[in-house]
Amino acid sequence: MNLPHDSAIKHVTGESVYINDIPADERLLLGKVVYSPHAHARILRIDYEEALKVKGVHAILTARDIPGENQMGPVIHDEPCLAEEEVTFIGQAVALIAAENEDAAQQAASFVKVEYQPLEAILDLETAMEKNTRIEVERKIERGDADAVLSHAPHVIRGKLRTGAQEHWYLETQSALAVSGEGREMMIHASSQNPAETQAVVAEVLGIPKNEVEVEVRRMGGGFGGKETQGNHVAAWAALLANATKCPVKIHLFRDDDQVMTGKRHRFLSKYEIGFDDNGLILAYKVELNADAGAAADLSLAILSRAMLHAENAYYIPDILIRGNAWKTNHPSNTAFRGFGGPQGMAVIENAIDRIARFLKKDAAEIRLLNFYRNDHNNLAPYGQEVKNNHLHMMYDKLIGSSEYFKRREEIVRFNREHEFYKKGLALTPVKFGISFTTAFLNQAGALVNLYTDGTVLVNHGGTEMGQGLHTKILRIAAAELGVGTGQVRVNATNTSKVPNTSATAASSGSDLNGMAVKNAIDILKSRLAEVSVAEFKKKTKDDRSRKENILFHNNVVSDKENPDRTIAFPDLLKIAYLKQVSLSSTGFYKTPGISFDKEKGQGTPFYYYAFGMAVSEVVIDTLTGMHRLLRTDIVHDVGDSLNEGIDRGQVEGGFIQGVGWCTTEEMKWDSTGHQITHSPDTYKIPTVNDIPADFRVEILKDVPNPGTIRQSKAVGEPPFMLSFSVWLAIKDAISAVGNHETEPDFTLPATYEVILLSSEKLKKRIG
Amino acid sequence: MQKTVRFVLDDRIVEVDFARFPELKPTTTVLNYLRSLPFHKGVKEGCAEGDCGACTVVVAEPGENGRLVYKVIDSCLVFLPMIHGKQLITVENIALTGKKDKILHPVQQVLVETNGTQCGYCTPGIVMSLFGLYKNHSSPSLEIIEDALTGNLCRCTGYRPIVEAAATACTGNGKDHFSEKEKEILSMLNSILSGKETMELKQGKQRYFKPFTLAEALRLRKQHPHALVISGSTDVALQQTKKREFLPEILDISGVEELKLFRETGTEYGFGAGLSIEQVKLLSESRIPVLHKILKIFGSLQIRNLATIGGNVGSASPIGDTLPVLFALGASVMVSSESGERMVKIEDFITGYRKTGLHKDELITEITVPKCQEKIKTGAYKVSKRKDLDISTVLGAFRLNLKDGVVTEIVIAYGGMAAMTKRAMKTEQFLTGKEWSREIVVLAMEILAGEFSPISDARAEAEFRKTVSANLLLKFYLETTHS
């Protein structure tokens, strides 16, 4: 079960090849992007005559040099590949340079003169709302009459919550290598979560058909959503330069440029009203989610949709109104990031419940328990889908026990009484996360499985490897389905010529979709091979007692279940099949059954199933400095029947810590003109080894098979991210202790040292 | 005069002659040099500023007892001549090549088994940090493991399996295939290092001087007053890697052994300006705990192995971590030129934002710290957005002398509150002669808040800085009275 990552040995020896490591011939040119320094401006003139004279410069391109369509918007075509008359964010590509070396490219870039006429820029959500820059229309999900219930509810709490942007900080910045071939052919080595879309965008900008563009992705040095659409951009730019120069062109963005040019997790500004009774039972919830889309639509509407579909998280709320809007601003177009809006939607309800608990002077964990979805009743989500096989109560019991929640709560109360300046906090938070692309047609996948006559297997599928271990899972699925050793199977680089028309590796769906497609291909091959073995047994035994449906593939041997003495070694069977002119290669296909969602009505069954998780975290804050320490985290997480426990654990721990970063130290700041002032790791702080819990206990739930998925497993990429709310709200609990839990502290996300300190100071003043 | 850079790579001496390699220049970083070779692309650039550790390599150099000393460094910050006379070890050198498969080093093997890699991009750097840990510690404590990994960012794993790998792998007393070759490598390095003539390198418009004696360093300093002086280059390298500036003239004093001495007398400690922050950290552990405390959270091990105490003082950054502590301790700076030496009080030495009183022909040679009487209380607190591998937002350092509960002398110094490290003179004055009590300290905090006009920036708002700086005084009070 615990097969290490299929590239692990290459990773630790430094052999793993990323885009920037691909050996290219001596004609290789480096691509450089000249980008806008203005958040919003008219381009009056571009003069690159001097730049062209720099020794080693081969080409400089602007919008008018694009042979095809000047577009790279993935859903809505509102994103030019190179700016034409106007720039709408800082970091927008205006010109491209291909040069023989970095120094020449750098020098040429400094000689490209672009004259701008600055225009008024919209840099925050409030202004965007005031100027009504909404993308499409407001979306709604509604059940019952939230307004009516709120007007009669015993208690109502109203508020606003801001959640911050987050930089992906994949270790490998955006990169692509474009190699032009014969005629119009273009080969792209991409760092993209969506090679099929990279292919489409490259074909469009070059004005050539898709069958002339091949995109290959060996691996990414991290993606996290940041390369779902925005990996296409560097690929398109590199392709334009390669097409113009007929030389291979590589673009590997410098870290600061990557941080300036690419989109982030969407900032949200949310407003809510929640009504509840004396016990803390939620009666009604009204929430308005506002997303900062940035300068283009990108995936913003799908992200907003997922935020709305997770607005109630793990809680049954009878009367509910969820409204959602995405607003354009003059920032780089915000994009997919692990959780895809889910975290932004869920943060609001989790914070609201925390407020209910403080208001009622109850423990927040108990309020959560009271409101969890149930299995027999109160199990319909606001959009009408039944929440099935819900593990919330079981997980709660388990975690409350294993974390000794209530005992530690008492200890914390004592600690806080005894310490004036250090305060501890504790919080339990749940995650219910819907699995499937919310755009229903994307829930499809393809595969191509080749068997070779030496008994080895080559698997191609549409999913991409970004570190999450998808290929390792697929490898094990293929080996198990074929009954061969994992050493006999290899998973190929993802290639659009092998498996076409695929969806992005996103929405945590990689193994669900591609695993099934691979199984489908293997089922087809096994059926052919079963026929061959039946014929072979018949030839040997001269009887026809062996039947196709009884043929088993196990331990590298093919046998007859009913006649166990009849066996053929798997490699031998392949040789026989080959001699009998039977095809040893098959494609496979899968589409998720039974999902649909009506965006206009806000109703349907958008998810194939839900993944569940729960966490308890304890922190200590220093109210004199605002600094905190994460003392302990206990996690229970549901992955169905794990496809690979080591890899799943890695996703849970890694996702959680990434979430902790978003909730605590990862603060994105801009100046008044829209320039990011946190554009490098010097000032943008992702977690280090010292930011993980001092005591970190992760339990992967056992014996919870998930019916209807590949080997009864569950998706695991995104859900653990939101377990980090336990840390966020533990910090709030600790701040709240400064005011003896009598006053609602000022709070936001991320809860930086600044938030902790200033909020604590305010409470200190209140209590005198 | 030496005209080439020589070091050991892949078990043989490599000689870089810039006249023969027009694509290289003296300030080419070790990272970019390695990546220009066909078989050393494992080393990665993640940020080009020493903040992520993807470029971590290990350098080995002859140590005191005839053994090699292994140090992790960020190769993105190191210019080629800085590894002259050293063995450069990269991720490609760690495993042995077997007949069919590679024979992994213990740190690699365990990292595979603990699922310590996901996307793999940070992994070469992590492997090198673990290798450095393996060579320097056996069964290291969690604190040592975490310190060894602080300089390596990983966005995928959440670090836990990497910590586990470190604890599991580093139990071999540093023995591995490098141990077997130690003598051979040492003799290669000693043959390189036997040449003490000054290195003078030229490529295009760039000139690079690397002296090996203080006398030569001072001569070159006088001769080339505009040359940028570097030792660890952790600050200067950023001008090239981040700001893309051309560095015309460099004076690299990292080869001057006379600057790496430590001395202790009955009244003071003398830290040679060329001692690395890591060395000063180790030296100060029992001697100057307050300095040690701050140096423990200074950058990362990769940075501390490069950065020097003289460099940190000389760069005069308003947020340099050592300065407030040195202010509080009443340290002095020894500067030398060909015409002699002089001692300057550190407060007088720092004259403004990244400005010092160093003359154009002088070099910092020593930081002198007077010994504190036992009854004197000291304290220092660093406040940063992230606990580790972060520059301080505010750093407060304090020295207090009490007689019968009354303040006879107090020094309060802050970094991050002004354009330079600054003492809170008004607050000091207010407190002097008064009772060291909470009531008085609370009054002092109000004076303190009015004494500085800090700025708002990427790290924090001015209001935060004001509040926190005052709170640190209270923190110091609490620490002096509650323990």
User: In a mutagenesis test of the A interface, which of B155, B247, B296, B442 is the best target, namely the one with the most A β-carbons within 10 Å?
Assistant: B155
Task: Give the model confidence (pLDDT) of A473-529 as tens digits.
Answer: 999 999 999 999 999 999 999 999 999 999 999 999 999 999 999 999 999 999 999
Q: Which residues of B touch A685 (CB under 8 A)?
A: 385-386, 390
**Amino acid present at B363:** L
Percent share of chain A, pLDDT over 90:
98
Rounded Cα distance between A14 and B42, Å, is 4
Mark yes or no for CB contact A680/B242 under 8 Å.
yes
Instruction: Judge contact between A232 and A194, C-beta under 8 A.
Output: yes
Q: Which among B52, B157, B460 has the least Cβ separation from residue A754?
A: B460
Mark yes or no for CB contact B115/A256 under 8 Å.
no
Exactly one of A197, A718, A742, A744 is catalytic; name it.
A718
Where residue A2 falls among pLDDT bands split at 50, 70, 90?
confident
When pLDDT is averaged across residues A276-300 and rounded to a whole number, the result is 98
Of A555, A588, A577, residue with least CA distance to A454 = A577
Correct CATH for A268-438+599-767 of 3.30.365.10, 3.20.20.70, 3.40.50.2300, 3.40.50.150: 3.30.365.10
Scanning the structure block, which residue is given the tokens 């820059």?
Answer: A133
Asked whether the predicted pLDDT for residue A668 surpasses 90, the reply is: yes
What pLDDT was estimated at residue B483? 55
A444-591: CATH number = 3.30.365.10
Residue A237 to residues A93, A138, A332, B34, B199, Cα–Cα distance (Å) = 9, 34, 17, 27, 44
Q: Share the mean pLDDT of chain A.
A: 97
Chain A: give the shortest CA distance to residue B230, in Å: 21
Is it true that domain B261-482 has CATH number 3.30.420.40?
no
When pLDDT is averaged across residues A387-412 and rounded to a whole number, the result is 97
Mark yes or no for CB contact B159/A657 under 8 Å.
yes
B5-93+180-252: CATH number = 3.10.20.30
User: In a mutagenesis test of the A interface, which of B31, B89, B117 is the best target, namely the one with the most A β-carbons within 10 Å?
Assistant: B117
Rounded Cα distance between A635 and B219, Å, is 63
Give span(s): CATH 3.10.20.30, chain B. Answer: 5-93+180-252
Q: Which among B41, B48, B104 has the least Cβ separation from residue A255?
A: B48
Is it true that domain A28-121+168-261 has CATH number 3.30.365.10?
yes
Q: Which residues of B touch A250 (CB under 8 A)?
A: none
Q: Which among B44, B118, B389 has the least Cβ separation from residue A467?
A: B118
Chain A: give the shortest CA distance to residue B56, in Å: 12
Q: Which among A171, A625, A646 has the least Cβ separation from residue B471?
A: A625
Mark yes or no for CB contact A690/B150 under 8 Å.
yes
CA-nearest residue to B470 within chain A is A624
Which fold would CATH assign to domain B106-175? Answer: DNA polymerase; domain 1 (1.10.150)
Per-state percent for chain A, helix, strand, coil, to nearest 5: 35, 25, 40
The domain limits of chain A are 28-121+168-261, 268-438+599-767, 444-591
DSSP string, A61-110: E-GGG-SS-S---SSSS---SS-SSEE-STT-EEEEEEESSHHHHHHHHH
Q: Which residues of A touch B88 (CB under 8 A)?
A: none
Rounded Cα distance between B468 and B456, Å, is 13
Asked whether the predicted pLDDT for residue A153 surpasses 90, the reply is: yes
Instruction: Judge contact between B192 and B6, C-beta under 8 A.
Output: yes
Mark yes or no for CB contact A754/B158 under 8 Å.
no
Mark yes or no for CB contact B117/A12 under 8 Å.
yes
**Amino acid present at B401:** N
pTM above 0.95, yes or no: yes
User: In a mutagenesis test of the B interface, which of A3, A13, A653 is the best target, namely the one with the most B β-carbons within 10 Å?
Assistant: A13
Q: Which among A2, A7, A691 has the least Cβ separation from residue B387?
A: A691
What pLDDT was estimated at residue B251? 98
Angle at A551 between CA A547 and CA A553, to 5 degrees: 170
* Neighbouring C-beta atoms of residue B103, cutoff 10 Å: 12
Mark yes or no for CB contact B120/A646 under 8 Å.
no
- Phi first, then psi, for residue B272 (nearest 5°) are -55, 140
Instruction: Judge contact between A220 and A20, C-beta under 8 A.
Output: no
Residue B105: Cβ-neighbour burial (10 angstroms; 0-12, 13-18, 19+): buried
3-class DSSP state of A194: coil
Q: Which residues of B touch A221 (CB under 8 A)?
A: 44, 119-121
User: In a mutagenesis test of the A interface, which of B385, B463, B464 is the best target, namely the one with the most A β-carbons within 10 Å?
Assistant: B385
Q: Which residues of B touch A650 (CB under 8 A)?
A: 115, 118, 156-158, 161
Rounded Cα distance between A473 and B7, Å, is 44
Query: Cis (ω within 30 of 0) for the bond into B106?
Result: no
Give the A:B interface size as CB pairs under 8 Å: 231
Asked whether the predicted pLDDT for residue A1 surpasses 60, the reply is: no
Mark yes or no for CB contact B146/A8 under 8 Å.
no
3-class DSSP state of A544: coil
Rounded Cα distance between B299 and B288, Å, is 19
Mark yes or no for CB contact A21/B41 under 8 Å.
yes
Where residue A586 falls among pLDDT bands split at 50, 70, 90?
very high
Which helix (DSSP H) or strand (DSSP E) does residue A240 occupy?
helix A231-245
Chain A: give the shortest CA distance to residue B360, in Å: 30
Q: Which among B92, B113, B471 has the least Cβ separation from residue A4?
A: B113
A167 among known catalytic residues = no
- Phi first, then psi, for residue B438 (nearest 5°) are -65, -40
Rounded Cα distance between A310 and A319, Å, is 15
List the pLDDT tens digit at each of the 483 positions of chain B: 899 999 999 999 999 999 999 999 999 999 999 999 999 999 999 999 999 999 999 999 999 888 999 999 999 999 999 999 999 999 999 999 888 889 999 999 999 999 999 999 999 999 999 999 999 999 999 999 999 999 999 999 999 999 999 999 999 899 999 999 999 999 999 999 998 899 999 999 999 999 999 999 999 999 999 999 999 999 999 999 999 999 999 999 999 999 999 999 999 999 999 999 999 999 999 999 999 999 999 999 999 999 999 999 999 999 999 999 999 999 999 999 999 999 999 999 999 999 999 999 999 999 999 999 889 999 999 999 998 889 999 999 999 999 999 999 999 999 999 999 999 999 999 999 999 999 999 999 999 999 999 999 999 999 999 999 999 999 999 999 975
Mark yes or no for CB contact A467/B112 under 8 Å.
no
Chain B: give the shortest CA distance to residue A138, in Å: 34
